[in-house]
Structure 1
């Protein structure tokens, strides 16, 4: 039954996460002599798979939510330097050396022709202002797009977790009714023999 149930739909989301069909009639999917425990385990396994994917997507979302403001700040600073290229002003700013260590610097925007950007994994590269602007704008657009995709996946997973939980409850209720009917049939058979 379980292979038949999960093969009922070829529907997936654009990232290939399979959809779970809703069981409108349990009798259409389960035979009377089906191994209830095996079926219930398959349903629980599918729910756990969805929950694992949900946890992974939530982690990705948290990472993107932390990354986007950093990219936005860097892009804002590059834009600010580009806007002040013709100015003779000197900018005094505080910048972070370490997690809790800040220092001051004076920047002459007219002389600042490039910036150094952290690319991750302790790698820093120097970029001309224009290239830095393009790179950061691309990274920001990609991160925002990825965040939207993760949001879609999370919604899809939540819907499928709910569907599987409802299916599991319906399967359990079907088994309760089946057992009651079996018990009543056995009692009726006993009473007829007496």
Structure 2
């Protein structure tokens, strides 16, 4: 029995570490006892808190979605650059130049003849370009590709976790709202029976 508890705690801790920064929405199983807790004076106040939590999840979803789009555009660029490096490595031992077209502006290309070389320049970002040996550049790009792929996979997991939190929060809001409707109808029935 103790090992089961330890395993479940390990799973919960792993989940919290994996989705660091995204608070977990706790499912409200017993609305009656939940509403009796301090700070839950009225259903309107609880619904406002739940809506605020829901809006935070929406904001997190927007940020994660933007990161996902950046990674999805970055990965093909890294793959394309790796392909070019591999082609340059093949041409490195030959005396003939590499004839190619490169993009100057959108839909504007220029012919180029690149002599065999063992050096390349890579844009690192923030207007920074560094010269690398082809092998070093390949190693760097392969590392960047694996990191970007891992980050994309982690982002997908975070987005799935976030969708679960949306669902839990929406269900909690509906349960609190329905509880309040029932409570009000009971109060109205009691008032009517007191009048008669």
Structure 1 residue 163 corresponds to structure 2 residue 168? yes
The answer as to whether partners of 1:13 and 1:19 remain within 8 angstroms in 2 is no
SS of 2:57's partner is helix
SS of 1:116's partner is strand
Quote the offset at 1:85 in angstroms. 2.2
What CA deviation, in whole Å up to 9, does each residue of 1:63-99 have, x standing for no partner? 0011111111111111111123223443211111233
The answer as to whether partners of 2:91 and 2:98 remain within 8 angstroms in 1 is no
SS of 2:145's partner is helix
Structure 1 residue 59 corresponds to structure 2 residue 66? yes
Distance 1:19 1:70 in 2: 35
TM-score by length of 1: 0.87
User: Aligned ranges for residues 1-194 of structure 1 at < 5 Å?
Assistant: 12=16, 14=18, 15-31=20-36, 34-108=41-115, 111-191=116-196
TM-score by length of 2: 0.86
What CA deviation, in whole Å up to 9, does each residue of 1:112-167 have, x standing for no partner? 11111111122211111011101111111111111111111100001100110011
Structure 1 runs (4+) greater than 6 angstroms displaced: none
Count of residue pairs brought into register by the alignment: 181
The answer as to whether partners of 1:36 and 1:175 remain within 8 angstroms in 2 is yes
Q: Which runs of 5+ in 1 are unaligned?
A: 1-8
Quote the offset at 1:54 in angstroms. 0.5
Distance 1:12 1:118 in 2: 36
The answer as to whether partners of 1:90 and 1:107 remain within 8 angstroms in 2 is yes
Q: Which runs of 5+ in 2 are unaligned?
A: 1-11
